[in-house]
Amino acid sequence: MLTIRLQRTGRKAHAMFRVVVQDSRRTPTSGKIVAHIGNYDPHNKTSNLNVEKAKFYLEHGSQPSPRVASLFRHNKIDLPKWVAEPTKKTASVKNAEKLRKNQPKEEAPIEEVKAEEAISEATEEIVTEEAEKIVEEAGVEAVEEAEAKAEETSKES
């Protein structure tokens, strides 16, 4: 059985692919191909395909690989009905229940909340008491100063 697949060419870290028709029992790198249909550059997402050759081999039973089938679809080459639709892979997460976003939200225990409220109320009371003391001391000093000024003015007159 013949397959239409990609054969890697190009230098290291810069792959280029040939679209070739090959016996399905051979590896793509074996070099023994039946026909060369075109090429594909994954970096530029460009492909040059001989549409007539591709249609000929598809009509005569060559099975395209999933990537080649999507290339054919992109280049508007009609695929036979018997060609399997490439399925999209879905990412699966191992132990999804262990992820933080899937964990139930932890609320602070009621005892800790009550303790925090008691502390905040106590600090507010202490602050208000200190403020009242400061105001009283300032008020006593102000009254004493006013009385002293009043006495001075009464002595002068």
pLDDT tens digits for range 104-153: 777 656 666 677 777 777 777 777 777 777 767 777 666 667 667 666 76
Judged against a pLDDT cut of 60, whether residue 4 lies above it is answered with yes
Domain count, the chain: 2
**What range does the domain containing 58 cover?**
2-84
99 inside domain? no
112 inside domain? yes
Q: What is the pLDDT of residues 8-26, one digit of tens each?
A: 999 999 999 999 999 888 7
Domain boundary among 23, 53, 84: 84
54 inside domain? yes
pTM of the complete model: 0.54
Cβ–Cβ under 8 Å, residues 62 and 36: no
96 inside domain? no
pLDDT at 37: 93
Q: Are residues 6 and 45 in the same domain?
A: yes
User: How far is residue 70's CA from residue 64's CA, in Å, rounded to a whole number?
Assistant: 9
Q: Are residues 118 and 79 in the same domain?
A: no
Average pLDDT in the chain: 81
Cβ–Cβ under 8 Å, residues 23 and 54: no
Closest CA to 45 of 70, 76, 78, 12: 70
* Three-state secondary structure string covering the chain: CEEEEEEEEEECCEEEEEEEEEECCCCHHHCCCCEEEEEEECCCCEEEECHHHHHHHHHCCCEECHHHHHHHHHCCCCCCCCCCCCCCCCCCCCCHHHCHHHCCCCCCCHHHHHHHHHHHHHHHHHHHHHHHHHHHHHHHHHHHHHHHHHHHHHHHC
